[in-house]
Structure 1
Amino acid sequence: MPVETREISVTGKEDCGIVDVTEMVSKEVKKSKIRSGTVTVFCIGSTGAITTMEFESNLSKDVSETLDKLIPLNEDYHHHKTWGDFNGGSHLRALLVGPSLTVPFVEKSLTLGTWQQIVYINFDRIEKVRRIVLQIIGEF
């Protein structure tokens, strides 16, 4: 089965910066030679995550506020003793959401719901530029 690997770059603001990458992923799928298959979207880095959501400002606030309750960033995590970078909560949030997502596509069109976008979330305590790998697998 044919495989194409591509890369996009995104910048996420600190502490739960959510970026809609749907259009970037869609463009790369359309540029590929593969007509139908799946695209895996993978965030390189241990304090970032990839998921789907309805990308709108109030839901973005809800995500941030809910994660603040579940995994507060200002806790004294054991990880802080290792590197002194005080981003233990960032790592835990990324672990919870996960680094990747696989989306099917048919005739070069992502099969997402009307209100479903692919998002990158930066959980780190500083703004980050991230590389996101797209692995496109399928049929010509």
Structure 2
Amino acid sequence: MLKEIKISSKGSDHSYDITEQIECCLGDMEKGSGIVHVCAVGSTIGLTVMRYEPGAVLDLLQMLNEIAPHEKKYEYQHFRTTGDMNGSSHIKSSILGTSLSLPVSNYKLAMSPTHRVVLFDFDLQEATRTLFIDL
């Protein structure tokens, strides 16, 4: 059974703990154990599992910004070919990826309580983000 989650995002490197929304979907699944697949629709967002605390979030964003700084927006080939200034957003998304496979046991994510599923939105504008959940 495929479930859908919508997240209203502010973009601009905002992050969202989506662990509870995923677990809410698991209660409706036919199987209580297995592997859940989480897929985010878009090419300027990313998914990861991490300790969701301000220091870890800032550390990850700092590293991604060192790799793909937004300040160089006019230097990216993406800008030169499309006129879009979000080339760094696409690079960050490609590095993190837009899907995860996570273990499920008894309708709950089988991971440490200190670890969370986090959606990052690197785009330059607000958007409603769609995620699909499948077990």
TM-score where L is the length of structure 2 = 0.92
Residue 58 of structure 1: which of 55, 59, 68 is its match? 55
**One-letter identity of the residue aligned with 2:30:** K
Q: CA deviation at 1:81?
A: 1.8
Deviation at 1:134, TM superposition (A): 0.7
78-87 vs 39-48, which moves further: 78-87
1:65-120 CA deviation, whole Å, 9 max, x = no partner? 22111210121200012221201110000000001000111111111113110011
Structure 1 residues 1-16: aligned runs within 5 Å:
4-16=1-13
Alignment of 1:17-56 (within 5 A): 17-56=14-53
Instruction: Tell whether the 8 Å contact from 1:122 to 1:128 is kept in structure 2 after alignment.
Output: no
Segments of 4+ moved more than 6 angstroms: none
Structure-1-length-normalised TM-score:
0.89
Per-residue deviation at 1:45? Answer: 0.5
On the 8 A contact 1:42/1:133 being kept in 2, the answer is yes
Displacement of 1:56 after TM fit?
Answer: 1.1
1:33-89 Cα shifts (integer Å, max 9, x gaps): 221111101010011111111111222122222211121012120001222120111
Letter in 2 for 1:74: E
Q: CA RMSD in A?
A: 1.2
Contact 1:39 1:103 in 2 (8 A): yes
1:16, distance to aligned residue in structure 2 (A): 1.5
**Rounded Cα–Cα distance in structure 1 between residues aligned with 2:2 and 2:130:** 13
Secondary structure of the 1:31 match is coil
Structure 1 unaligned regions, length at least 5:
none
Aligned-residue identity in percent: 29
Q: How many residues align?
A: 133
Secondary structure of 2:130's match? strand
